[in-house]
Amino acid sequence: MKISSLGFVSACLGLALSWPQAQAQVAVQANADHAQMLAAADPLAAANKRLVYDFWREVFEAGHLDLADKYLAEGYIQHNPSVPTGREGFVKFFAQFSKPKPIEVRVKAPLVAVVAEGDKVVLAFVQTLPEPKDAGKSYTSTWFDMFRVEGGKIVEHWDPATKR
């Protein structure tokens, strides 16, 4: 019997959608070793990782928007459809929700990985979401933020956010 490629894809999709829930997921785990995640053989990669990590701790998590110019280029490009582009747009947007608090020595969000390649740095986090088919239960997934660094400043950002 010969199956077309479209038929094969449809059969695989049907099988995947009917697979039992218990087989569907292994919980995403955070990596407690932040020093190891920040290490890199390439000094530029290590510096870029540290820049993004410190931006996340100081500006994003601790709400010290007054430090944004230390990390973000003035013409910072934002690809999240809910956040304005530009350093000034970033600061104005997050000032609505964020008040300064003590800066932690480590990123508080549950980090899975910090990866640098060329001018890009990716932070991967554990994301806990409500189980849509079982009220009161939750499951884990992964959230990614990717940054482009140029000249010691973050110049661009991507994440999987959609319009709300």
In a domain, 12, yes or no: no
**pLDDT above 80 for 13:** no
* φ/ψ of residue 32, rounded to 5: -75, -15
Q: Tell me the C-alpha to C-alpha distance, in Å, between residue 41 and each of 85, 147, 149.
A: 32, 20, 18
pTM summary value: 0.83
**Structural domains of the chain, count:** 1
Report the CATH number at residue 31: 3.10.450.50
Q: Give the per-residue pLDDT at 164.
A: 76
Q: What is the pLDDT of residues 50-75, one digit of tens each?
A: 999 999 999 999 999 999 999 999 99
150: in domain: yes
| Domain assignment of residue 2, yes or no | no
In a domain, 5, yes or no: no
39/110 Cα distance (integer angstroms):
18
Structural domain of residue 152, as residue ranges? 26-158
Average pLDDT score, the chain = 89
Q: Which residues contact 74 (CB under 8 A, 6 or more apart)?
A: 86, 87, 88
The verdict on residue 139 lying in a domain is yes
φ, ψ at 102 (rounded to 5°): -55, 140
- In this model, does residue 6 exceed pLDDT 50? no
Is residue 128 included in any domain, yes or no? yes
Q: Does residue 8 belong to any structural domain of this protein?
A: no
pLDDT, mean of residues 88-102: 97
